[in-house]
């Protein structure tokens, strides 16, 4: 059975990084954007990273501009924004596509392992569903990720154990990470 360790990605400088370098760690893999309504998720993500990285936790940040052009800058501009505004220290990788013909194989794999199950209930979630449905029509059956700040939790063996949509409360994400850390 495949794991995330079989994938190689590009860091923000264009260097290849084998995800097998993260063997034995709990990972949270996130597609992000600097101009999104969910961009404030960087605060709880960074807090979680600072609190838990010494226990074997890593956050892997993949900027994506496929949702309303909310990550328009270069890798360096995005990195500068995140470090100056949110103090992020977790690894940030090259900007990628998460949907369509050019979707990063890692994200196609993650979304296949843990498919979209909805945004939950409520007016905000219903509005987001309407927006995402319109946006994702252009990707057809390759609309793997519905919006920015979708998070995938990976156990220490490289298996995808949970998917969190951007509407998921960050305390719920943190509890799942802490449980995976043991």
Nearest to 166 by CA among 36, 62, 4, 47: 36
Mean pLDDT on 27-41: 94
Is the distance from CB of 29 to CB of 151 less than 8 angstroms?
A: yes
What are the backbone dihedrals phi and psi of residue 29, each rounded to the nearest 5 degrees, phi first?
-100, 125
- Cα separation, 122 vs 100, in Å, equals 28
Q: pLDDT band for position 72 (50/70/90)?
A: confident
Q: DSSP letter at 114?
A: S
Which parts of the chain are beta strand (E)? Answer: 8-10, 16-18, 26-32, 57-63, 151-154, 160-164
Enter the CATH code of domain 4-181: 3.40.30.10
Q: Where are the domains of the chain?
A: 4-181
Question: From residue 58, how far is each of 21, 25, 49 by CA, in Å?
Answer: 11, 7, 7
Q: Is 36 a catalytic residue?
A: yes
- Cα separation, 147 vs 55, in Å, equals 29
In the set 36, 78, 110, 173, the catalytic residue is 36
Enter the tokens of residue 128: 């987001």
Beta bridge partners of residue 17, listed in sequence order:
9
Q: What is the pLDDT of residues 157-180, one digit of tens each?
A: 999 999 999 999 999 999 999 999
Give per-residue pLDDT as tens, 51-66: 999 999 999 999 999 9
Could you give the 3-state DSSP secondary structure of residue 164? Answer: strand
- pLDDT band with cut points at 50, 70 and 90 for residue 118: confident
Distance of CA 41 to the CA centre of its chain: 11
């Amino acid at each position: 059975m495949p794991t995330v360790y079989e994938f190689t990605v590009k860091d923000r400088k264009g260097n290849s990084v084998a995800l097998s370098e993260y063997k034995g760690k709990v990972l949270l893999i996130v597609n992000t954007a600097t101009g999104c309504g969910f961009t404030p998720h960087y605060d709880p993500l960074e807090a979680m990273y600072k609190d838990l990285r010494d226990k074997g936790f890593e956050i892997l940040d993949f900027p994506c501009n496929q949702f309303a052009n909310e990550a328009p800058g270069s890798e360096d501009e995005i990195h500068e924004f995140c470090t100056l505004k949110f103090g992020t220290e977790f690894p940030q990788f090259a900007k990628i596509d998460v949907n369509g013909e050019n979707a990063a194989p890692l994200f196609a794999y993650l979304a296949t392992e843990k498919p979209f199950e909805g945004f939950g209930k409520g007016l905000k979630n219903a509005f987001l569903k309407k927006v995402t449905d319109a946006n994702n029509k252009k990707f057809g059956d390759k609309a793997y990720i519905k919006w920015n700040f979708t998070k995938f939790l990976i156990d220490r063996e490289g298996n995808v154990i949970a998917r969190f949509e951007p509407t998921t409360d960050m305390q719920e994400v943190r509890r799942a990470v802490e449980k995976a850390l043991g």
